[in-house]
Amino acid sequence: MQELVDFIARALAQQPEEVRVELEGDRKVLLSVAGDDLGRLIGRRGRTAKAIRTLLRASHGADLEIVSDDEDAIAEPE
């Protein structure tokens, strides 16, 4: 399960060395990437993230959460 997400994320990321994949509980995978790669892994309108989640659910019945290592990459709500 983690290997699938790691393979896809590293292929899409510009900084593949910054990709971290961890298992949270039985059915949740946490994907952590560099701030610059966050948009690439989410994709336009979330299509890339949705596709990765679909593959993960179909193959392992698990869910995916994508976070950034860079705190400045995510805007704070006003």
Q: How confident is the model at residue 71 (pLDDT cuts 50, 70, 90)?
A: low
What are the pLDDT digits (tens) for 31-48?
A: 999 988 999 999 999 999
Domain boundary assignment for the chain: 2-71
Nearest CA to 13 out of 47, 48, 45, 46 is that of: 48
What are the pLDDT digits (tens) for 5-31?
A: 999 999 999 999 999 999 998 899 999
At 8, give phi and psi (nearest 5°): -65, -45
In this structure, CATH architecture of domain 2-71: 2-Layer Sandwich (3.30)
Torsion of CA 71, 1, 49, 34, to 10 degrees: 30
pTM of the predicted model, to two decimals?
0.81
